[in-house]
Every structure is written in C-alpha cells, then in structure tokens.
Amino acid sequence: MSSLIKEFEQTPPEIVFEWKDKELGAEGWVVINSLKGGAAGGGTRMRKGLNRNEVESLAKTMEIKFTVSGPKIGGAKSGINFDPKNPKKAEVLKRWYKVIMPLLKNYYGTGGDLNIDELVEVIPITESYGLSHPQEGVVNGFFSMEISKHKDKIERLQYGVSKQVTDKKYIPTTTNNYKIADLITGYGVSEAIKHYYNIWGGKIEEKRAIVQGWGNVGAAAGFYLANYGVKIVGIVDYNGGLINTEGFNIQEIEALLASKKSLKEQTTFIDFETIMRQIWSVGAEIFIPAAGSRMVEKSQLDTMIANGLEVISCGANVPFNDAEIFMGNILSEMDKKIAILPDFIANCGMARVFAFLMENEGEITDEILFKDTSNVIKDALQKTYEVCPKGINLTEKSLDIAIKELQNRK
C-alpha cells in the first residue's frame, strides 16, 4: 500500500451521525468522510450485522468514486444494521429518513444501495417528508446559484433517474420495463470490462464470465456482457445458483434478468453449499463480484486464477474479505497477479448519472446517459493505463491517481 493510500484510509471522517431505533433496536450511521465542495454523497444500505466501520469504509470509497464520476464533493454513506427481510423494514426506513432529514436538506445526498431500492423505497419515503429528491442536499450544498436554478436541477434528477429506458440498444428484446436506476450500474460494470480489453488488449468475444450476486447490478452486468459475446458460465447468489459450462444463451440471460429474484425456480438450480464448492473451478476469464462487501475469499480467487481468470470488475463496493478499506492483504496480492478494475471506477454508473444530471443542461435521453457513463469509465481506465500498461497493480495505481486529485481540492 502506498503512503498516499494509507494516509487517506487512516484519516478520521469529518462527521458521524449515529442513531438507535428504540422500537425495533435497529442501528444506523451516516458517515461523511468530508464536505469537500460543501456537500457529500453516498447511498443507503441495510443488512443484519452491519457496523460503523463498514459505513466509514464505504464513505471513503465514495469520496474516491467522485474523483471519477463527479461532482467534486465529499464521500458519505448511510448504513442500517437491521434484517432487510424483516416485515417491519419499511417502518425502520421511515424513522431513519425522518431523523436524517436535516442532513438531506442541506448537504448530504443519498440513494439506493445493498437491500435498499432507490425508486421503490428511498424516493417515496424521502418525498413524504418534503424532500424534492434524495440528492437535494448535494444541490443545495455544492452549487452556488439562484434557488430557481436549484429547482431546475432537482427536476432533471427527478426525471432522469426514474426515466424508463426505451432505447432498444440498452434493454432486453422481451420487455422495456426498466428504468435508468435499474440498469446503469450494471451497465458500467460491463463497460469497464469491454474498455479493459480494448485498452490493454484482447477480444471480449467468447470470454467466459462468473457473476456473484444476481440483483440489479449483477444481472444487468451479465445481460450486457452476454450482448458483447461473453459466455456467462456461472451465477451464484445468496441461496444458490446456476452453472452452464457452454454459456447461457442470450434468451436465457434475458429471462434470468427479468426474474432475477427467482434463480431458485430454474430446473437446473444448484443449492448454495454445492455451488460454492463447484463454481470457482468452472473456468472463466471474467469475474463480477456484485453480491456485497467483503464477500470474496482468497481461496476462491486462487481457484479462479488457476482456471484462467484474467480480469475482475467490481460490481460491489469493497468486495474482498479484507479488514482494510482499500489495499488489504487479499486485494494487494491479487492486484499483482491479475487486472482488478476497482469499484470506484467500475460501479460508478449511478453516481455518474446523478452528476451528469446536476452539472448539465439540455436533452436527457437513454443514449446520452449510457454513453456518458461509458466514456467516463473509459477515460478513468485510460489514465490508469498510462501508468500501468501491463495491467497489474491496476487498483493501487488507480487509487494513487484519485487521491492525488483529492489533495488538490479544497
């Protein structure tokens, strides 16, 4: 780990807001690593066992991510320690957003994350408390302009994030019942893979991929990779998964995307314990970890590398099971062996859409939003290539570039 990364990781966050739910015992934290530019941003996640340290690490990751996606603000994150399967989840979320409303009004912007849906949960709940959009705090804190122009930016956010995708280049042939927020992060994860092979060399067609986590991010990434000619040979989720060494065809992937929460209903479904023994040795050049933070073990990576793994595109934030925030033992070792496209580049799609909508005016189309996300990811990887032409130590070099940029900001 470079001294730059170590210093950034060890610097305490500026603001930590802590909450205890008296009714159900849930715990919540908003961690704002800094208020660079007068604002900070980062989504809301929920899982049983989540702690403050996890939220702090994700807030720092968000600060790094904004050097790629924009806007030039500080990183933040919200986290709630509560079982998302509990039928009283909505009650907890309502109480949570009510207590952090002053932050969301003035300098903090949030969105969806692990087990929290942007469109179904975050927006309706925050709107019920008078918030125009979950990014309103960023608009108010970061942009110095007339209040009337704030309204214009909020309206662009309201339209753009919830926009239904109709451009046939970006949706399955079977249905167009997808919105920008459903697809854009997974799209970016897949674009990172495509740009990696274009920049560092190699053909993406006929490569094989394993996807860990078949939610919005993993399923969308798998769909777009399949459209690039990649063979999806393995899918593993929290309750099991699927293996097809010949690769699922595009029709099968489209069907799995449409029913991403029901892998278990497939006739070839493999139970969790069995697939966790089998999937890592199936053989794939591409791995998409999109299930959650700190879930990927060294033994799994060793097995995949022995069976041909070339590149990882991080769909989840901090996917490797390291105690450290950035360059822990697992990531440091693997970064020297294969190409690892870091989370703050690969999964910046939603953050980039927020930034684009706030910072630009004019037409909003599917093509504009998807192409913009792709170009931002491409530019970030091109910068890394200039100092990392062999494709190893890619994550460490990318982090150094981002932290140097942060040091030049106020």
Q: Are 135 and 223 found together in one domain?
A: no
- Mean pLDDT in consecutive groups of 10 residues from the start of the chain, 410 residues: 80 96 97 95 95 93 94 96 97 98 96 91 96 94 74 90 93 86 96 98 95 94 97 95 95 88 84 96 98 93 98 95 88 96 95 93 95 98 96 93 83
What integer pLDDT is reported at residue 147 of this predicted model? Answer: 64
Q: Are 103 and 221 found together in one domain?
A: no
Asked whether residue 141 is domain-assigned, the answer is yes
Asked whether residue 59 is domain-assigned, the answer is yes
Please return the burial class of 291, using the count of CB atoms within 10 Å of its CB with bins 0-12, 13-18 and 19+.
buried
At residue 350, what is the residue type? M
Contact 309, 301 (CB under 8 A): yes
Domain CATH code at residue 25: 3.40.50.10860
Q: Are 148 and 285 found together in one domain?
A: no
CA of residue 173 relative to chain centroid, distance = 25
Asked whether residue 380 is domain-assigned, the answer is yes
Which domain-ending residue is among 162, 190, 225?
162
Asked whether residue 170 is domain-assigned, the answer is no
What integer pLDDT is reported at residue 5 of this predicted model? Answer: 82
Q: Are 247 and 289 found together in one domain?
A: yes
What integer pLDDT is reported at residue 148 of this predicted model? Answer: 63
Asked whether residue 175 is domain-assigned, the answer is no
pTM, 2 dp: 0.90
Q: Are 187 and 301 found together in one domain?
A: yes
Which domain-ending residue is among 98, 128, 162?
162
Domain CATH code at residue 347: 3.40.50.720
Per-residue exposure over 356-379, b if at least 16 CB sit within 10 Å of its own CB, e if not: bbbeeeeebebeebbebbbebbbe
Q: How many domains does the chain have?
A: 2
Which domain-ending residue is among 135, 162, 189?
162
Question: Which residues touch 72 (CB under 8 Å, ≥6 apart)?
Answer: 36, 37, 66, 142, 409
Q: What does the alpha-carbon distance between residue 189 and residue 222 come to, in Å, rounded to a whole number?
A: 9
Q: Are 121 and 225 found together in one domain?
A: no
Which residue range forms the structural domain that includes residue 144?
Answer: 12-162
Given the structure tokens 């450290």, which residue do they identify? 324
Q: What does the alpha-carbon distance between residue 44 and residue 64 come to, in Å, rounded to a whole number?
A: 17
Please return the burial class of 18, using the count of CB atoms within 10 Å of its CB with bins 0-12, 13-18 and 19+.
exposed
Asked whether residue 298 is domain-assigned, the answer is yes
Q: Are 228 and 342 found together in one domain?
A: yes
What integer pLDDT is reported at residue 145 of this predicted model? Answer: 59
Q: Are 339 and 191 found together in one domain?
A: yes
Q: How many CB atoms lie under 10 A from the CB of residue 268?
A: 10
Q: Are 193 and 143 found together in one domain?
A: no
Q: What tokens were used for 340?
A: 């690892």
Contact 41, 135 (CB under 8 A): yes
Q: Are 137 and 217 found together in one domain?
A: no
Asked whether residue 142 is domain-assigned, the answer is yes
What integer pLDDT is reported at residue 269 of this predicted model? Answer: 93
Q: At what angle do helices 349-359 and 147-162 cross, to 10 degrees?
A: 140
Asked whether residue 90 is domain-assigned, the answer is yes
Q: Are 257 and 374 found together in one domain?
A: yes
Considering only CA atoms, which of 71, 163, 33, 36 is closest in space to residue 352? 71
Considering only CA atoms, which of 237, 231, 214, 332 is closest in space to residue 283? 231
What integer pLDDT is reported at residue 206 of this predicted model? Answer: 86
What integer pLDDT is reported at residue 261 of this predicted model? Answer: 60
Contact 339, 200 (CB under 8 A): yes
What integer pLDDT is reported at residue 258 of this predicted model? Answer: 87
Q: Are 124 and 196 found together in one domain?
A: no
From edge to edge, which strands make up the β-sheet containing 231-237?
270-271, 240-248, 231-237, 208-212, 286-289, 311-313, 339-341
Positive or negative, the CA dihedral 256, 258, 263, 265 is negative
